[in-house]
Amino acid sequence: MYPLDINRIACIGAGFVGGPLGAVIASKCSSVQVTVVDKDPARIHAWNSESLPLHELQLAEIISDIREHAEKSTECVKSRLIFSTDIQTAVQKAQLIFLCIDTPTRTSGPGSGFAPDLGNLKRAIEAIARTATDDKILVAKSTVPSGTSQVIRMLFEQHCRPDVKCEVLSNPEFLSEGTAIHDLLYPNRVVIGSQQTVSGKDAARKLAGVYQAWVPPSRIIFTDSLSAELGKLAANAMLAQRVSNINTLGTICEATGARIESVSQICGLDPRIGPHMLKASLGWGGGCFQKDILSLVNATRKLGLDQIASYWESVVWMNEHHKLNFQKRLVSCMGGSIKGRSITVLGFAFKKGTSDTKNSPAISLIRGLLACQAQVIIYDPMVPAKQIITDLHLTPGELERTTISHSPYSACSGANAVVVATDWDNFLCELSRNDEAQPLNWEHILKVMQEPKFIFDGRNILDCDFIRKLGGRYVRVGSPSEWDQLPVASL
Ligand code: UDX
């Protein structure tokens, strides 16, 4: 058992990590007050409204439970969970500060295209250091290169008052978008990296005291900061590599007639390989995989280990190649040209359960379809039209050929082809429906489509026989189709 010595926490950054993390801590630790701060007033306003800035299962319920409880409470505490732009007050009050600041890949300067941009993180630490009037525990949640905790400590010491001290912990977040609350509530591990000094280990135990309110102690791993930081990058790089591995095998299956599901099952039942991240798709996306692999490549190259850097970089290239391959296959199945053809893309988020579109494979797919002069209609149940337009960076000519639809049925009306780009449950066929989701009426979709009625399943979620019975020309990832121009190899 670790003591719960902490009762005032701040989360700096109200994004995908800070918001859900703050909400879960506030819901699980009744003696702790959590303030989540962000410099963006619009984002804070959204957190304080009924329409939260991000979609995550159970998030709205957790927050409204905390607020309801606060309303009924006779305590003078307004709420155990506050969203605010007032970083100064939050920092001054907090004993422990989670740094949940985004670290996107740098687009200029040294390490451009690879290294994460730590600018926002550094500015936040300087602001925290200048504001702090007593000792603080800073907890780095953002995914950062190995060695960043040390940089944070030095930066804090440069800018803080002489009588103020800090301990920096590395506590990387492993949550996946779409299952953020579940992952936070039931983490398979909580990694706490600290300096291996008495005060470092003491700070680590204080953080463990917070998690202990809902995480079994056996899942809390104590280590040094360098290992915690590298461990997070390594886990993401290995996961992304697995999806790329299975996607290359899917392409082999398309050409040979072997079944990708069987190959996944054969590998997945081997306990040394395991069942996760073995679903072939049109490519992986999201905010973490690419960024973290590139950061690992950057750090490895700086160590002079060029071959190892190139090895990991090839996982990113392979994903780019795979996304392009999916698009080329679509064009080739449709007779070699899609000029003037109407193609509907169902799904724009990088995976189901989230409205996040970062590096979504749908983006490069749609850009490729437009480059081939197709008309593109896009539907996603969660992603706002404005976001889709921002992500696509369209020329005026491309914009004219792009429509964002609010209904899957009007999106597919008149389409020559429909591409399933995101694995949303409600895109499933009635025959294989998940009980909680309202499935799409594919019968209606096939009726309102125009010949040749291609369905390209980039997520392998549809029922092949059902779509074929309805008159659709069904093409899925990892299986050959009669419309592929490549002949099935005779081995
Ligand atoms: C990932 C890591 O899983 C998480 O631990 C880390 O903290 C952040 O990065 P996330 O980006 O939310 O999480 O998504 P994840 O569920 O891992 O999926 C990443 C991409 O791979 C998605 O585009 C997904 O659709 C794709 N994917 C995943 C596949 O194509 N096949 C699979 O079998 C699994």
Tell me: the pLDDT tens digits for 157-190? 999 999 999 999 999 999 999 999 999 999 999 9
Are 322 and 416 within one domain?
yes
pLDDT of residue 486: 64
Residue 165 assigned ligand-binding role: no
Are 259 and 376 within one domain?
yes
Are 241 and 200 within one domain?
no
Choose the catalytic residue: 160, 166, 253, 288: 288
Structural domain that includes position 290: 237-476
Query: Ligand 1: distance of its center to the CA of 172 in Å?
Result: 16
- Which of 348, 410, 404 is closest to 375 using CA atoms? 404
Are 179 and 289 within one domain?
no
Which residue has its alpha carbon closest to ligand 1 atom 25?
A: 351
The preferred substitution site among 183, 248, 260, 284 for testing ligand 1, maximizing ligand atoms within 8 Å of CB, is: 284
Report yes or no on 15 lying in a domain.
yes
Query: Ligand 1: distance of its center to the CA of 429 in Å?
Result: 23
Are 208 and 266 within one domain?
no
Are 199 and 270 within one domain?
no
Are 202 and 338 within one domain?
no
- In this structure, what CATH number is given to the domain that contains residue 374? 3.40.50.720
Residue 38 assigned ligand-binding role: yes
Report yes or no on 481 lying in a domain.
no
Q: Is pLDDT above 70 for 291? A: yes
pLDDT tens digit string along 327-383?
999 999 999 999 999 999 999 999 999 999 999 999 999 999 999 999 999 999 999
Protein residues with CB under 6 Å of any ligand 1 atom: 173-177, 236, 239, 243, 277-279, 281, 284-286, 288-289, 350-351
Report yes or no on 488 lying in a domain.
no
Looking at the chain, the whole-number percentage of residues with pLDDT higher than 70 is: 96
pLDDT of residue 227: 95
> Which amino acid appears at position 99 of this protein?
L
Domain finish residue from 215, 246, 265? 215
Are 188 and 316 within one domain?
no
Report yes or no on 221 lying in a domain.
no
Domain finish residue from 215, 248, 265? 215
Per DSSP (E only), the strands in 337-472 are 342-346, 375-379, 402-404, 417-420, 454-457
Are 48 and 88 within one domain?
yes
Burial of 99 (0-12, 13-18, 19+ CB in 10 A): buried
Looking at the chain, the whole-number percentage of residues with pLDDT higher than 90 is: 89
Strand arrangement, sheet containing 96-99: 81-84, 33-37, 8-12, 96-99, 136-140, 166-170, 190-194, 220-224
- Count of domains observed in the chain: 2
Q: Is pLDDT above 70 for 435? A: no
Query: Ligand 1: distance of its center to the CA of 176 in Å?
Result: 7
Report yes or no on 36 lying in a domain.
yes
pLDDT tens digit string along 368-401?
999 999 999 999 999 999 999 999 999 999 999 9
Which residue has its alpha carbon closest to ligand 1 atom 1?
A: 176
pLDDT of residue 193: 98
Q: Is 288 a catalytic residue?
A: yes
Are 242 and 203 within one domain?
no
- Which of 315, 291, 312, 290 is closest to 303 using CA atoms? 312
Report yes or no on 486 lying in a domain.
no
Are 260 and 136 within one domain?
no
Residues in the chain: 491
Ligand 1, atom nearest to 173 Cα: 7
Are 15 and 91 within one domain?
yes
Report yes or no on 223 lying in a domain.
no
Q: Which residues pair with residue 169 across a beta bridge? A: 139
Ligand 1, atom nearest to 459 Cα: 30
